[in-house]
Amino acid sequence: MSGVPYRPWSFEMKVHEGAEATVSKGVWLGKPAILKVRKPKGYRNPDLDSRLTKSRMAVEVRALSRLQRVNFPSPSLLYVDQQDSSIIISEIEGFPLFEVMVNGNLEEGALSRVGGTIRRLHENGVSHGDLTTHNIMIGTDGEIFLIDFGLAKISPELENLGQDLQVLNECLTASHSEYSEAIEKVVEGYISSSTSVPEVPSSSDVTQRFDEIRNRVRYLG
């Protein structure tokens, strides 16, 4: 956003410095917002690096705009600057599922609603690609939101849908092992909220594929 004399973005604070992105909180045209600037990873090949950064941003923009059209609970896109690889999105008021679980504040039923939200994402023809508990947020009224769509796929294959459940399963096992049957609750919500959508694999196909992936990993690991 260089060279713009009037800056409608007003910075408040940095909230996250990750491997891929710097995320800050601020105000965009009067509304609480998040600025996410993707940075090159410093690979040896700078051209490839810059292409990867740009493609992740383009993917995130495409997924968010598609989801916005169907009122999916994800941030709304407010501004895109391709040159700087940055986007401004609406701020979600709430906490990452990771923190909620680590602090022992998880409400009964929340994991099942997480599963329902994942199914809704899939029914809209999108896989997430990085479904960890850091990329799931719980709003102040307990609503579930998904964020961070840089690895999403539009028109995903069955394998990508099964992988979404497996990534979350691995994260729940590795970081939240004190919650027993957590993934089962997610899967239960995934199945119970599913409807039949043409061109989208059924919830039983997806959970079956998830079980296959899980077993594959077990035997290999």
Ligand X SMILES: Nc1ncnc2c1ncn2[C@@H]1O[C@H](COP(=O)(O)OP(=O)(O)OP(=O)(O)O)[C@@H](O)[C@H]1O
What is the rounded distance in angstroms from the CA atom of residue 131 to the CA atom of residue 135? 6
Q: How far is the CB of 117 from ligand X (least distance, A)?
A: 15
Active site residue 130: yes
Applying CB under 6 A, does 131 fall inside the site for ligand X?
Answer: no
Applying CB under 6 A, does 139 fall inside the site for ligand X?
Answer: no
**Considering only residues 79-108, where is the footprint of ligand X by CB under 6 A?**
89, 91-92, 96
What is the rounded distance in angstroms from the CA atom of residue 150 to the CA atom of residue 164? 14
Please say which residue, 20 or 123, places its beta carbon nearer to Mg ion: 20
Q: What token pair was written down for 153? A: 């796929």
Q: How far is the CB of 148 from Mg ion (least distance, A)?
A: 4
Please say which residue, 147 or 200, places its beta carbon nearer to Mg ion: 147
Interface residue with ligand X among 19, 45, 69, 196 (CB under 6 A) is 19
Residue 46 makes CB contacts below 8 A (sequence gap 6+) with 40
Residue 87 interacting partner from Mg ion, ligand X, none (CB closer than 5 to 8 Å by kind) = none
Q: Please state, in angstroms and as integers, the Cα–Cα distance from residue 71 to each residue in 1, 65, 66, 127, 221, following that order.
A: 28, 10, 9, 16, 39
Please say which residue, 36 or 209, places its beta carbon nearer to ligand X: 36
Please identify every residue annotated as catalytic: 130
